Chain A
Amino acid sequence: GVVPISNLIRTIRTARTQAEEREMIQKECAAIRSSFREEDNTYRCRNVAKLLYMHMLGYPAHFGQLECLKLIASQKFTDKRIGYLGAMLLLDERQDVHLLMTNCIKNDLNHSTQYVQGLALCTLGCMGSSEMCRDLAGEVEKLLKTSNSYLRKKAALCAVHVIRKVPELMEMFLPATKNLLNEKNHGVLHTSVVLLTEMCERSPDMLAHFRKLVPQLVRILKNLIMSGYSPEHDVSGISDPFLQVRILRLLRILGRNDDDSSEAMNDILAQVATNTETSKNVGNAILYETVLTIMDIKSESGLRVLAINILGRFLLNNDKNIRYVALTSLLKTVQTDHNAVQRHRSTIVDCLKDLDVSIKRRAMELSFALVNGNNVRGMMKELLYFLDSCEPEFKADCASGIFLAAEKYAPSKRWHIDTIMRVLTTAGSYVRDDAVPNLIQLITNSVEMHAYTVQRLYKAILGDYSQQPLVQVASWCIGEYGDLLVSGQCEEEEPIQVTEDEVLDILESVLISNMSASVTRGYALTAIMKLSTRFTCTVNRIKKVVSIYGSSIDVELQQRAVEYNALFKKYDHMRPALLERMPVMEKVTTNGPAEIVQTNGETETAVLETKPPPSGLQPANQVTETDPGYAGFLFPTGIPSITAYNKNGLKIDFTFERSNTNPSVTVITIQASNSTELDMTDFVFQAAVPKTFQLQLLSPSSSVIPAFNSGTITQVIKVLNPQKVSDSKKNC
């Protein structure tokens, strides 16, 4: 015959491999399928039961769906039971056949046996589609008003599902809720509270309407706490903790944003908070829910402090579950009740040493939220120690958090630099990319700490240059302040003795190392270049390094090297100005990564293009705006003409006049002449002025300067200085 399910389970458990199990299942499925085909009523129930078990193990069972419907339609309770279970597991609105159930359910909701009614309510409340719910809502509403508590409790949960599927039907259940809370039966009370909660969460009108239930809810809760031992409801000495938690949650929803309701529940909350037994998980579960409610409603400050103190006590509990929920709750309240949470700071900091990863994470987040000007030194010490010892998954967030807190609350610049150093050396490879420009800006702006900073950074990478963010910051600093490093100017600590060659050694090591990222190499090369204007003995060495990288495979490095080479060769006169010390930078944004107004220590090299001559003529030079040789050329009237430029045969003279019409305008006439043997073609003169000035270039007489000084190009330039005071006014 057809084996019972217990046999099947025993057989499947003997399978030693997944393949063996699959084979057994397939064999059994085939047997079940043929049994279904034979329309065997006797064993249908047994077969569907086995099918459900196999489905639970992960095997497809869709061919049993119709069989479930047949079972539901049967008169036997044992059939209906499996049929409805099957429907709950295998059917939902995705399958069209599910609608065939509707009539059966309707009949069974009116069945003479309450257990059949119960089955129907359960199934509808579990998988009922919107159409089914619409059709059957009336039946459910009727059962919600019955005096049979077995049915009433199931009807309440079914109603929750109906409302979720068809929210418009909520109104229809309102009358039936009237005396739901008058029940003594805990099952009905529990599911009724769930129904009320669902309605309040979905509709502000319902919420307002149900606020009047607060006194009744308070009374029920009080009875649960005060009542003696009730064997039916006892869980480790507490009466129906699950109902208590539900009521506390509903109270939370009703008391939110409402002063009167909050006041009405104040006493009971205080009572639960102080009297609940905390030795077992049960009690703590209730306390936890109570704390959540207190923090969410409009409770008086005394009550809030009580709640936070409970959380503080939780932190000291041996039970890690309690510590976890305490930290989670404190994290939620730290913004609104900052001072109260501060009192538990040391306990929270201790949790950084917990063995549980989730607890550590919360403790870290909470610790950062609690840092302020008063406790920053102590807190940072703990957090830096944490950074040292924590799991890699925390390091990036921790480092970022430390940088942020240090920026906000640093008691001194030295402390700030030291803290940054500590993070870079401890967790240097986990620091986020955006931290590097921020740190560089910070260092640049701490002018009096430059010598100290560069010394510390140099020492840090001497031993280990694998941590990219650290190496990038260090390279940049060495490039900027290398002169301070070799001259031993440090005041904050004992200055180290280091030669120019030693500094170049470390930067070259960074360049060569295959641990260095491309970006890092860029920093190192630029740093080396900058040192050409800061070092005195090793300029040749620097030239050599730079020229080698002119043929680097790395395109980025190659471009830099080529440009720096050009600086050494053709534009050597511009090199000092281009590689000058960076000025203090303005921060564009204050939160998060700041946008630096200037580039990270890489000065834009003047692009000096030379156009190839069309047919053997000497190429003209383009004088560009950034050419530092021409900065500040505006003199007040009365100054004699000058020769502004005289090199390689090109000579440019300036003559100055005051405009007749506008005394703020100075008119400069340039004359360009050419003493070389070849004409200069494509000559273009460009000029730049400070922001407050205005400039107008009129058309030049020509773009070709003939050779042998045989002719000149003339061009007029007008410069307006709006702040210029006229001579006559000056004398008043």
Chain B
Amino acid sequence: MIKFFLMVNKQGQTRLSRYYEHVEINKRTMLEAEVIKNCLSRSKDECSFIEYKDFKLVYRQYAALFIVVGIDQTENEMAVYELIHNFVEVLDKYFSRVVSETLNLL
């Protein structure tokens, strides 16, 4: 199950957030800060899946923006990784110029 879907930039500013299970609003900001910290500390040699508390984070970086999806044990990490890109391509279709520039899409 997908628990949350985030778009956070490198400075830790949330650009998009969607929670599929109730999380207190003040806990959200904490979670988003921690999640981006985890993603920023990863090197190029490390995989796109991070174990975080009782979630797994699947993340993809597009220019200065991180898209991070929190999942539980029942999900296929690689399918979710693919889903993120699918989402980006949908955004690109609808908001073409803005998205291409922001996310550095080819």
Contact = CB atoms under 8 A, between A and B. Distances in A.
Contacts of A92: 22
Interface in B58-91: 76-79, 81-83, 86
A357 B46 contact: yes
A630 interface: no
Given A57-B14, A357-B46, A358-B47, A321 B81 contact: yes
A357 B26 CA distance: 30
B17 interface: yes
Interface size band for B: 20 to 34
B106 interface: no
A322 B47 CA distance: 8
A543 B47 CA distance: 61
Interface stretch (A284-292, A578-586, A632-640): A284-292
B76 A245 contact: yes
A320 B28 contact: no
B45 interface: yes
B48 interface: yes
A631 interface: no
Given A242-B79, A288-B78, A359 B47 contact: yes
A718 B24 CA distance: 78
A60 B25 contact: yes
A359 B46 CA distance: 9
Interface in A238-287: 241-242, 245, 249, 281-282, 284-285
Contacts of A356: 45-47
B79 A321 contact: no
Contacts of A553: none
B45 A355 contact: yes
Given A58-B14, A320-B47, A355-B45, A235 B77 contact: no
Interface in A349-385: 355-359
Of B22, B28, B46, B47, most A-chain CB atoms within 10 Å:
B47
Contacts of A408: none
Nearest to B20: A126
Interface string A207-244: 00000000000000000000000000001000001100
A249 B73 CA distance: 13
Contacts of A284: 78
A323 B47 CA distance: 9
B14 A56 contact: yes
B99 interface: no
Contact of B82 (A60, A282, A292, A323): A282
B2 interface: no
A293 B44 CA distance: 31
Given A58-B26, A356-B46, A358-B47, A285 B79 contact: yes
A281 B78 contact: yes
Contacts of A60: 25
Contacts of B22: 92, 94
B103 interface: no
A178 interface: no
Residue of B43, B47, B77, B78 contacting most chain A CB atoms (<10 Å): B78
Contacts of B46: 320, 355-358
Contact of B78 (A59, A94, A285, A357): A285
B27 to A, nearest CB: 10
A60 B79 CA distance: 34
Interface in B3-59: 14, 16-17, 22, 25-26, 28-29, 43, 45-51
Contacts of A55: 25
Contact of B29 (A58, A289, A320, A322): A58
A607 to B, nearest CB: 53
Interface in A318-358: 320-325, 355-358
Residue from A57, A59, A284, A292 having most chain B Cβ neighbours under 10 A: A57
Contact of A241 (B16, B28, B29, B82): B82
A56 B16 contact: yes
A289 B79 contact: yes
Residues of A contacting B: mostly:
helix
A554 to B, nearest CB: 41
Tell which of A55, A58, A235, A357 has the most Cβ of chain B within 10 Å.
A58
A357 B82 CA distance: 23
Contacts of B79: 241-242, 245, 285, 289
Contacts of B77: 321, 324-325
Nearest to B74: A249
Contacts of B86: 235, 242
A320 B45 contact: yes
A358 B50 contact: yes
A92 B77 CA distance: 29
Given A235-B82, A284-B78, A285-B79, A321 B26 contact: no
Nearest to A359: B47
Contacts of B78: 281, 284-285, 288, 321-322, 325
Contacts of A242: 79, 82-83, 86
Interface in A675-728: none
Nearest to B26: A58
Contacts of B43: 355
A249 B50 CA distance: 23
A58 B24 CA distance: 10
B9 to A, nearest CB: 11
Nearest to B27: A58
A324 B86 CA distance: 22
B64 to A, nearest CB: 14
Nearest to B32: A58
A303 B69 CA distance: 33
B85 to A, nearest CB: 8
A505 B81 CA distance: 62
B11 to A, nearest CB: 11
A541 B31 CA distance: 62
Nearest to A127: B22
Nearest to A238: B82
A54 to B, nearest CB: 11
Nearest to A56: B17
A678 B29 CA distance: 85
A321 B47 contact: yes
A489 B105 CA distance: 74
Contact of B49 (A59, A249, A288, A324): A324
16 contacts: A56-B17, A57-B14, A58-B14, A58-B26, A58-B29, A235-B86, A245-B79, A285-B78, A289-B76, A321-B47, A321-B49, A322-B78, A355-B43, A355-B46, A356-B47, A358-B49
Given A281-B78, A320-B47, 7 more contacts: A56-B17, A58-B14, A58-B26, A284-B78, A321-B77, A356-B45, A358-B50
Interface of B: 14, 16-17, 22, 25-26, 28-29, 43, 45-51, 76-79, 81-83, 86
7 A-B pairs with the lowest CB-CB distances in the bound complex, closest first: A285-B78, A355-B45, A320-B47, A58-B29, A356-B46, A324-B47, A285-B79
